[in-house]
Amino acid sequence: MRKFFMMAMAVCAMTFASCGNKAAQNQSAENTEVETVDLENATADLAAQLAAGDVNKFQEALTATQNKVAELLQNNPEQAQQYLETVQNYLKENAEKVNNLVGDNEVVKATVNTLVETPAQSIIENLKSVVGTTEDAANAAVQGAADQVDAAKQAAQDQVDAAKQAVQDKADEAKQAAQNKVDEAKQAAADKVNEGANKVNEKVNEGANKLLKGAGLK
């Protein structure tokens, strides 16, 4: 009886071990499963915030998009690129609405311009070369947007400086033209004075000559 009981316990132990191994294998398979994403809903949040007309929420949706690209990049670069291309196409197709919503918000504008104007493959390759974790990818995306903002600010400042210089140049030209007019007027007045003085001198000389002739001195 005791021998039979021990054999039964051994069978149970083997059964539990087998189940445990199978569960561990299933868990391992789940952990290594490549993440996939529904591309049809990739722009759902962007579309919702664009329809709502909230630029701040739209910015948050853009940030979430960048984070999702970085997350997918860790295990599935091809899916990450497809996701990014889906977002890029959406932004291009709705460019007018996006631009109207973004307005003068330089941060969001720079982010949108980066996503629209840079080929998806280039963005992915750049992220691959510098990103090691999802957090790093998000930081890289934020830094890229910040760099774009700095560039946009510098370009705007250059335009302001150029406009100021153009105004200054026009003012200088106007001042010089006015000064030239004044100088011309002064010269004309001086010429008139000299002309009048010459005529007076001629009259004086004529009178003196007549006197001299009348006195027999000439």
| Residue pLDDT, tens place only, 27-72 | 444 444 445 667 777 788 888 888 888 889 989 988 988 888 888 8
54 φ/ψ angles, rounded to the nearest 5 degrees: -105, 105
pLDDT at residue 142, rounded to an integer? 67
Percent above pLDDT 70 for the chain: 75
pLDDT at residue 60, rounded to an integer? 92
**CB–CB of 111/48 below 8 Å?**
no
Candidates 117, 118, 138, 137; CA nearest to 129 is 137
Candidates 90, 99, 94, 68; CA nearest to 81 is 68
Task: Return the minimum-mean-pLDDT range out of 53-62, 67-76, 161-170, 208-217.
Answer: 208-217
pLDDT above 80: residue 175: yes
Which amino acid, one-letter code, is at 47?
A
Candidates 67, 89, 72; CA nearest to 34 is 72
Tell me the pLDDT of the chain averaged across its residues.
75
CA distance 137 to 83: 15
Where does the pLDDT of residue 9 fall: very low under 50, low under 70, confident under 90, or very high at 90 and above?
A: very low
pLDDT at residue 217, rounded to an integer? 67
Give the predicted TM-score (pTM) of the model. Answer: 0.44
